[in-house]
Structure 1
Amino acid sequence: MSRKFQGRTLYIRYSNTRLWKTSALYLAAFLIILYGAIFLWPVVPAKPNIPESSSFKVKINPKSGLSAIAVQLSEQGLTTNALSLHIAARVLFVGSKLKPGTYLLPYRASLGNILLQIARGDRVRESLAIIPGMTIWQLRSLIDNHPALIHQTKGMGPKDLLQALGLSYPGDEGLFYPDTYIFDPDDSDISIYRRASQAMQKQLTAVWEQKEATSPLKTPYDLLILASIVEKETGRSSDRSLVAAVFVNRLKINMPLQTDPTVIYGIGPKFDGNLRKADLRRDSPYNTYMRKGLPPTPISMPSKESLHAVMHPANSEAIYFVARGDGSSHFSKTLKEHENAVDQFQRKRNVSTKLTSQ
């Protein structure tokens, strides 16, 4: 090879190497600038007198594409646009991973951090707990006063609520499954009722399928009613199946259930905490001292455990029980044994109360 040709070849190689180095430098510079634009430049405008610990709330609507998300963010105060959002989302490979919801962002958050947070679904969630034994009045008040819900059912009567949920029952009591429900801010209250009622229907159906031939209950609604009574009468979970057995045994021999919680429920929200003899003598559909069989509706929201206890009561012949005063109950087969137990535990309780008050 001639020196001239060899020199020319070396020059071409040198030029290519130099070109690659130059391109690499430009690419590195571009990536640094892009990184800075995505992760260092804040897209939430700073405002005067705002502490650094403050946060900024934005909401992404369901089924929103990148362009729609860009508009939503811009309308809520973020200084961004569709082009920068598209570029950043593609660079970070999160374009198809952005999740709807309400997000709490650091006040001077970068576009990159915002997109990664939305892609993780790290959003604000709210919760509402339906407690076993809660009545419909308590539940309606709880939901009506929850600040994170949109209140579509406030002031709605029981029939209208049932119609909105597609349910056909004598009332709305007992139909909502006790659980903690997680939801996004600004969700509608009807969605909580719907989820809770569907959960209760699922539990009720599953438990009713286990019904034994000897059970005196005729419908799943009967199961719901009796379970709601067991829920209110159980002071200790270990007694639940025994309490259920007492009421099942009474139904089998057509004996009145004679349970205070049904009478209290019949009095309604105005009950002052003091059940009087006059209340027990006042006839109502919920007075199980004066009327045999089940009351017309449940009296609370029963737990899964109470549903199971009613469907699988303890193997017991007891038809009476009395509270011992420590959360548990004493169960009796005969009236004489029951009267002795009442005398024993009520006397002990009265003496203890008198000594405490002295």
Structure 2
Amino acid sequence: MLFIKRFFQYSLALLGLTTLALAIWIVIFLIRPLPMASETIGMQIPAGASVRAIADQLVASGVLTEPYSFLLVVKLTGSANKLQAGDYAFNTPLQVMGLIDVLKHGTFDQFKLQLTEGKTFADFRQKLAQMPGIRHDTLMLSDQELMQQVSGQNDAPEGWFFPDTYFLDAQSSDLDLYKRAYQKMVQHLNQAWEQRASGLPYRTMYEALIMASIVEKETGVEEERPQIAGVFVNRLRKGMRLQTDPTVIYGMGTRYRGNISKKDLLADTPYNTYTRSGLPPTPIALPGLASIQAALHPANTNALYFVANGQGRHVFTATLEAHNQAVRAYQLKK
């Protein structure tokens, strides 16, 4: 009898420890973000899929690392018969109860793409091509063919897509996003062009877009952008060359390795504003709204030069002598 009594005592103690360990494991699983394989994961759950099949698919897609914890929580919460088929997109950070809630209600997060100011169209194409969960209908199109589908024109695509945060439903076409970003840029540019300052040295709205892209690449400080634009507008009015490094870098293409030399500044390309007068033939980046506004409302300044001060800003000067002094003070010393 004593043996049986102790056996039951040890069994109860072991059961209690096991239950406690299981409870701790469940709590950790509930509160810890899921270790998803990537920031956004798209998947499609077919009609009639079992809970185990859904769990296995979540593992295969990289949402879960193993199915058993998920299956246990689904069973404990009574959600086994409530998970629905459909197209889903899961974004980090995501906890298991949020995952179950999405699957129960048949709703899904949209795919998100952040198109950043100052990036090039090539960057945009690469980023969108790597986006999961959508249809990539434009991968085999050239830039000109893509623009023909987007705008009906064979324009160069650089600069024509507005930097913003875009959301796409699962299995939507990448062409839809190109069209939305293009139309948004056209809308902002048209509105800004209609409200532009008088006397600007731009013959067309496209030239203003080119200037906005240069301003975008010259400074990340928003309040400096009208001053930068003012310098370049003054140079255009005087027939001076713009002499801006970002255009040279753009013209170098894949030859650019992080630095430009005097040899690069002297090597003529259509984008080298040290060797050629006026604006380059196309934008050199995707400008944001602040740079568009700066290009069309430049500061009223007599400055013709500027130089980086080494602290993220620029020193503006009106004469070559003052500019050379600023270069000696901030650039040669560095």
**TM-score for both structures, normalised by structure 2:** 0.72
* Aligned mates of 1:135, 1:221 — CA distance in 2: 16
Shift of 1:103: 7.1
Distance 1:250 1:109, change over 3 A: closer
* Aligned mates of 2:222, 2:68 — CA distance in 1: 50
Deviations 1:215-271 (A, max 9, x none): 111111011100000000014222111001000111111111100100100011331
Contact 2:305 2:319 in 1 (8 A): yes
* Aligned mates of 1:54, 1:201 — CA distance in 2: 50
Residue aligning to 2:142: 157
Partner of 2:187, secondary structure, is helix
* Residues matched between the structures, number: 259
> Is 1:237 matched with 2:222?
yes
Structure 2 residue identity aligned to 1:186:
Q
Matches within 5 A, 1:195-210: 195-210=180-195
CA-based RMSD: 2.7
Shift of 1:125: 1.3
* Aligned mates of 2:216, 2:84 — CA distance in 1: 50
* Aligned mates of 1:167, 1:210 — CA distance in 2: 26
Matches within 5 A, 1:63-78: none
Distance 1:155 1:44, change over 3 A: closer
Residue aligning to 1:324: 309
* Aligned mates of 2:258, 2:206 — CA distance in 1: 28
Identity %: 40
Shift of 1:52: 4.8
Residue aligning to 2:179: 194
Residue aligning to 1:285: 270
Shift of 1:279: 1.1
Residue aligning to 1:51: 68
Contact 2:89 2:133 in 1 (8 A): no
* Aligned mates of 2:312, 2:71 — CA distance in 1: 47
Shift of 1:308: 0.4
Partner of 2:52, secondary structure, is coil
Structure 2, unpaired ranges of 5+: 1-47, 57-66, 73-82, 91-95
Residue aligning to 1:341: 326
Contact 1:242 1:314 in 2 (8 A): yes
Structure 1 residue identity aligned to 2:230:
A
Matches within 5 A, 1:36-185: 45-47=50-52, 50-53=67-70, 102=88, 114=104, 117-118=105-106, 122-168=107-153, 170-185=155-170
Shift of 1:168: 2.5
* Aligned mates of 1:270, 1:154 — CA distance in 2: 24
Residue aligning to 2:42: none
* Aligned mates of 1:304, 1:124 — CA distance in 2: 27
Distance 1:139 1:270, change over 3 A: farther
**TM-score for both structures, normalised by structure 1:** 0.67
* Aligned mates of 1:255, 1:54 — CA distance in 2: 70
